[in-house]
Amino acid sequence: MKHGVHTDFYHRKNNPTSYDSICLNCYRTVSSQKAEGELGKDEENHVCEREVLMNLETLIKATCQ
């Protein structure tokens, strides 16, 4: 990952020939590939945008009240 918050990724198998990588920090889909092994490059380049994280935090707080 470039500059930003350290994060982990969840790999979701959509069907026998498609995988998604989802950031567990900002919940964005950062990659969709035919092979799970191809997800890593996009994960390395992913940066959680500050606005996305702030909006998510606001939404969670509003939902929990």
Instruction: Find out whether 9 and 23 touch, Cβ atoms under 8 Å.
Output: yes
Q: What is the pLDDT of residue 51?
A: 73
- Is the distance from CB of 28 to CB of 38 less than 8 angstroms? no
Where do the DSSP E strands lie in 1-65?
9-15, 18-23, 29-33
Q: Tell me the whole-structure pTM to 2 decimals.
A: 0.69
Confidence of residue 3 (pLDDT cuts 50, 70, 90): very low
Cα distances (angstroms) measured from residue 34 to each of 3, 30, 46: 27, 14, 19
- pLDDT tens sequence across 17-64: 899 999 998 889 999 999 999 999 999 999 887 777 788 888 888 988
Burial degree of 46 (CB within 10 A; 0-12, 13-18, 19+): buried
